[in-house]
Amino acid sequence: MQAYKRGRWVKVPADNDPDTSFKWKRHLAAQSRVTIEWRVPATATLGHYRLVYHGGAKVASEALTPFTEVTNPFTVRSKAELKILA
């Protein structure tokens, strides 16, 4: 998880955060699908966020190749919105 602060993206706790869930599922014979969900906590700072996933891909017998995927930024706009989700 990253938050946009003072003109740059900075890491914020998420991997072991109870509001973050990670689901991995086999898809077809040699593919996987990952779903990451962040339930915005009432303590979240208003602002822009994005999810970041670091994974590894393997093609046939080749070595594992690291990769990173990043979501489009999204905005937490108001505490009122958070209360509706809670």
pTM of the model: 0.72
Q: What is the CATH number of the domain that holds 15?
A: 2.60.40.2300
Instruction: Give the domain extent around 80.
Output: 2-85
Which are the contacts of 60, defined by CB distance < 8 A and separation ≥ 6?
A: none
Q: Over the chain, what HEC string results?
A: CEEEECCEEEECCCCCCCCEEEEEEEECCCEEEEEEEECCCCCCCCEEEECEEEEEECCCCCCCEEEEEECCCEEECCHHHHHHHC
Whole-number pLDDT of residue 7? 93
Per-residue pLDDT of the chain (86 residues; tens, 9 = 90+): 889 999 999 988 666 778 888 888 887 777 788 888 888 887 788 899 998 888 888 777 778 889 899 989 989 887 655 554 43
Whole-number pLDDT of residue 15? 60
